[in-house]
Amino acid sequence: MPSATVEDYIKHIYLVSEKRNSGDVADVAMGQVAEALGVVPGTATTMVKALSDAGLVEYAPRVGVQLTEPGRKLALHVLRRHRLIEQFLVEVLGFDWSEVHEEAEQMEHVVSDLLLERIDRYLGHPTEDPHGDPIPSAGGELVHGQVETLMECPLQTHVTVARISDQDTEFLNYITESGLNPGVTLCVKARSERAESVELELIGSGNFLTLGKGAAVKILVRLKRDIYS
């Protein structure tokens, strides 16, 4: 069984690559790996070389690192554990969605495959976690769906909040207070690149909000007519 450290590195390399390339295999700079893991670049490089020796990544100095197919499969398995645990904590144990990320970070390394499949069955085989992130299947398949940030989506069009990419507790509390949880329908009324802001109407409530770019790029939406599976 891979160690918790190995799983953390593989998972974060995948997540950085996903954020840039919708999950496609791509080189991730070592500086990004170190930042994601909260370590100095030298520590990250040493670990990545060990992962390369194990066949989980391909590493090239001054270029970066990318997952091999075994590495990608491991990353998706860890993400499946993490996201199913988050959904279980919210749906069954009554945790707030802003509390579950850190809990799942600890539990994802120790839960057995048998327990995980029992959780999956009990929850009815969910396809998304509480933050709208897709849950990989038991076979290692992951459907991303077509999503855009509030800085990219069409104006004057009904869209549905699909994912919240930042799981920081304070930011998720802000999302809750603003009524922008996944599943909410809204319309971007106006967008200003100069002011780095968007003006939103929350459909059904009659509420209007103005968000800064920093928050808007962390809220991913899809056209209301699209189906996300």
Residues 177 and 123 sit within 8 Å (Cβ to Cβ): no
Q: Report, as an integer, the average pLDDT of 67-86.
A: 96
Which CATH number is correct for 4-67, 1.20.144.10, 3.40.50.880, 3.40.50.2000, 1.10.10.10?
Answer: 1.10.10.10
Q: What is the pLDDT of residue 28?
A: 92
Distances (CA, A) of 8 to 23, 48, 74, 139, 146: 17, 12, 10, 20, 27
Pairing verdict, β 207-212 and 219-223: unpaired
CATH 1.10.10.10 domain locations along the chain? 4-67
Token representation of residue 70: 């075994």
Torsion angles phi and psi, residue 138, rounded to 5: -60, -25
CATH 2.30.30.90 domain locations along the chain? 148-223
Torsion angles phi and psi, residue 17, rounded to 5: -65, -40
Q: What is the pLDDT of residue 143?
A: 79
Q: What residue has token string 């670049």?
A: 41
Q: What is the pLDDT of residues 192-216, one digit of tens each?
A: 988 899 999 999 888 999 999 999 9
> What is the dotted CATH code of the domain comprising 148-223?
2.30.30.90
Torsion angles phi and psi, residue 48, rounded to 5: -65, -35
Predicted confidence band of residue 103 (pLDDT cuts 50, 70, 90): very high
Question: Which residues are registered as beta bridge partners of 111?
Answer: none
| DSSP E strand stretches across 117-166 | 148-149, 158-164
Q: What is the pLDDT of residue 26?
A: 66
Q: What is the pLDDT of residue 223?
A: 87
* Res 22 pLDDT > 70: no
- Pick the range with the lowest mean pLDDT from 8-17, 133-142, 219-228: 219-228
Q: What is the pLDDT of residue 20?
A: 65
Q: What is the pLDDT of residues 148-193, one digit of tens each?
A: 999 999 999 999 999 999 989 999 999 999 999 999 999 999 999 8
DSSP 34: H
Q: What is the pTM of this model?
A: 0.86
